[in-house]
């Protein structure tokens, strides 16, 4: 998956896109100072959105209940 808007992130939380098996959404400050939302699927590295020069202050926005 990729970085998406807050609107798409909220649609995922509401149950949209179940076929993508999204398990976590990480909210972070991007390199330009804006807020971004990174989607993590069950196939991705769960730590995909760690702090880096492009990802600042990552925090879990939503996580799929176990």
Confirm whether 24 is domain-assigned: yes
The total domain count for the chain is 1
Confirm whether 65 is domain-assigned: no
Confirm whether 59 is domain-assigned: no
Q: What Cα–Cα distance (Å) separates residue 45 from each residue in 2, 31, 40, 50? A: 13, 21, 8, 10
pLDDT in tens, the chain (66 residues): 589 999 999 999 999 999 999 999 999 999 999 999 999 999 999 999 999 999 999 999 999 998
Confirm whether 61 is domain-assigned: no
The residue range of the domain holding 9 is 3-49
Confirm whether 19 is domain-assigned: yes
Pairing of strands 3-4, 55-63: unpaired
Residue 2: predicted pLDDT: 85
Q: Distance (Å, rounded) from C-alpha 16 to C-alpha 58? A: 23
Expressed in angstroms, the distance from the first to the final Cα of the chain is: 20
Residue 1: predicted pLDDT: 52
């Amino acid at each position: 998956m990729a970085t998406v808007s807050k609107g798409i992130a909220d649609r995922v939380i509401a149950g949209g896109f179940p076929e993508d098996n999204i398990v976590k959404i990480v909210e972070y400050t991007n390199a330009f100072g804006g807020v971004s939302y990174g989607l993590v699927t069950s196939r991705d590295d769960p730590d995909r959105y760690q702090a880096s020069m492009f990802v600042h202050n990552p925090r879990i926005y939503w996580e799929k209940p176990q």
